[in-house]
């Protein structure tokens, strides 16, 4: 099945909450970095993409109705080309500084602290960052510039009629309106906060 949503927003822009929300309103799975863990087919397919080998996106993403987060956010052009009728959803934070504070407190710390079996995949992610974003994880100005550059490229390249720029505070309404689906009555999901992520990965609180 074709994707209804191609997420171009990078990690720590509310992407896990988006995954949960999109699965609810679309009635099917949404791809996210968490899909990679323990899934050899997904790891192999996305590694091929990172290495520049041909990928059949319709096959690799056949079980999904939407895609958000890395690694897809760095491959949004290819995935959008394979799903030209999709809505491109650019999730952002209020500022690059806010984004970097969240990312550097969570995913950037975790990338060097993965189980041995996941380290080859993390090496591929770092290669992807180096080629399509930035792998200078401990250089705030460099990473924030990469974040701004990435977002500007999406805004510039996606036709306005197919682009939705969204922040977590926007909630259900703009997404449901653009997808033409009913707006759920319950609050928009809030998942995978900084504290949630650090607890899941066993990263001590910065105040500890």
For 121-150, write each residue's pLDDT tens digit: 999 999 999 999 999 999 999 999 999 999
Q: How confident is the model at residue 197 (pLDDT cuts 50, 70, 90)?
A: very low
Residue-averaged pLDDT of the chain: 92
Res. 64: pLDDT tops 80: yes
What pLDDT score does 204 carry? Answer: 52
Q: How confident is the model at residue 207 (pLDDT cuts 50, 70, 90)?
A: very low
Residues 6+ away with beta carbon under 8 Å from 37 = 118
Res. 5: pLDDT tops 70: yes
Do residues 183 and 176 touch, judged by C-beta distance below 8 A?
Answer: yes
What pLDDT score does 111 carry? Answer: 86
What is this structure's pTM?
0.90
Question: 5-201 has which CATH code?
Answer: 3.40.50.300
Residue 205's DSSP bridge partners are: none
Tell how far CA 193 is from the center of its chain: 15
Residues 6+ away with beta carbon under 8 Å from 78 = 49, 55, 57
Res. 201: pLDDT tops 60: no
Domain-by-domain residue ranges, the chain?
5-201
Residues found in the chain: 208
| C-alpha gyration radius of the chain | 16
């Amino acid at each position: 099945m074709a994707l209804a949503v191609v997420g171009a927003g990078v990690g720590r822009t509310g992407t896990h909450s988006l995954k949960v929300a999109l699965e609810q309103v679309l009635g099917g799975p949404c791809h996210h970095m968490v899909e990679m863990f323990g899934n050899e087919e997904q790891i192999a397919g996305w590694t091929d993409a990172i290495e520049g080998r041909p990928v059949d996106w319709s096959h690799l993403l056949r079980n999904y109705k939407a895609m958000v987060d890395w690694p897809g956010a760095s491959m949004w052009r290819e995935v959008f080309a394979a799903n030209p009728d999709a809505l491109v959803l650019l999730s952002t934070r209020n500022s690059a500084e806010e984004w970097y504070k969240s990312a550097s407190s969570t995913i950037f710390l975790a990338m060097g602290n993965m189980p041995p079996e996941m380290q080859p995949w993390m090496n591929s992610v770092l290669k992807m960052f180096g080629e399509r974003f930035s792998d200078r994880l401990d250089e705030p100005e460099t990473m924030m510039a990469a974040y701004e550059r990435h977002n500007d490229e999406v805004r510039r390249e996606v036709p306005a009629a197919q682009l939705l720029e969204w922040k977590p505070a926007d909630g259900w309404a703009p997404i449901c309106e653009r997808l033409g689906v009913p707006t759920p009555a319950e609050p928009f999901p809030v998942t995978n906060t900084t504290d949630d992520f650090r607890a899941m990965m066993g990263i001590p609180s910065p105040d500890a």
